[in-house]
Structure 1
C-alpha cells in the first residue's frame, strides 16, 4: 500500500510511519518542521524514517497548496492520513492565525486534493479539546461538541465538519480520530 501522511515528524506521525514502513509499505511524509515543537527532534525523526528506502520526506506547509498537491500526486497514495496541525491550546491565544492557516486552510487543501485523487480512505486527526464546555467526563464520541472553548478546538471542530461534508458530497471514506 502507498500512504501519504502529514505530520510525520510529530510523535504520532513518526510512530505510524515507522510501523507502516516496517511492514513494507511506501510512505510519503509531509511536514513543515515548524518550531512549535523541537525542530532538531523532528529532523531526527525524519532521518530515522529516511533509513527506509520506501520513505520519501517532503518538507513544506499544508497551506502551500501547490507543494502539497504535487507531493500527493507524486506519491499516488491509496490512503491519506492527515495528522499535521498547529497544536496547543495556550498558543492559540497568542497566534490564532497559525491555527486558521494550518488547521482550517491546510485541512481544506487536504480534502480538496483527496477529492481529486480518489483515495481509498481519508483519516484525520482531531482532538478531544473540541468537547470544550461539555460537563460529561470521560467524553464519549456521541457527546455534543458544539462549545469549543479555544481557537485550537474551534479549528479542529471546523476540520471535522468540513470532512463530514466532503465525505457526504464526494463519497470519500473518511474517519476522524479525536486524540
Structure 2
C-alpha cells in the first residue's frame, strides 16, 4: 500500500515539475518582432534538412525540438551548412535560437540536423523579422554588424555559457523525470 502512495506522489511531483518547465519556457516575443513563417518537420538521425532564407533584414530563427534532438546551422557562404561548415549554430536539446544579422548575404542557408542520439527528431521553427531598425532609425547610424553579432559566431561569450548551463540543467531535469516515469510504469 505504501508503494502505491509513493508512486502517486512521484507522479504528482513529476507532473508538477513538467508543468513548471513548460511554463518557464513559454515564448516571450518582443513587440518589434513580426512572425513571418512557422515550419514543422521531422528529421532522421544523422540527416540534414535544408532551408533557404531570402528575406532581408535581421531575422530570428526560433526552433523548438518537440521530440528527439534537432540542431540548427546557418551560413551565408553555403546553402548547405553542416557541423563542419557554418557561420552560426545552436545545438541545444530544447529550444535553439539564432539571430541572422541584416548584413548576411542572401540567400542564407539553414541546415537542420537530426542528432544521432534519437532515431527521429520532430521540430517547429518560427521565423521572425526584427523591425527594431525600422522603428528607431537612429539605431542604424550606430549599428556595427561586426560588434553586434560576433558573440554568435564560432566563439563563445560568457552569456552563451550561462545559456548552455541553463539548457544543460533543463536537459538533465527532463532526463531524470523521464527515467522516474519509466521506472514507475
More strand as a share of residues: 2
TM over 0.5: no
Pairwise TM-score range, normalised by the shorter structure: under 0.3
Is the radius of gyration larger for structure 1 or structure 2? 2
Q: Normalized against structure 2, the TM-score is what?
A: 0.25
Q: Normalized against structure 1, the TM-score is what?
A: 0.26
Which protein has greater RCO, CA pairs closer than 8 Å, 6+ apart?
2
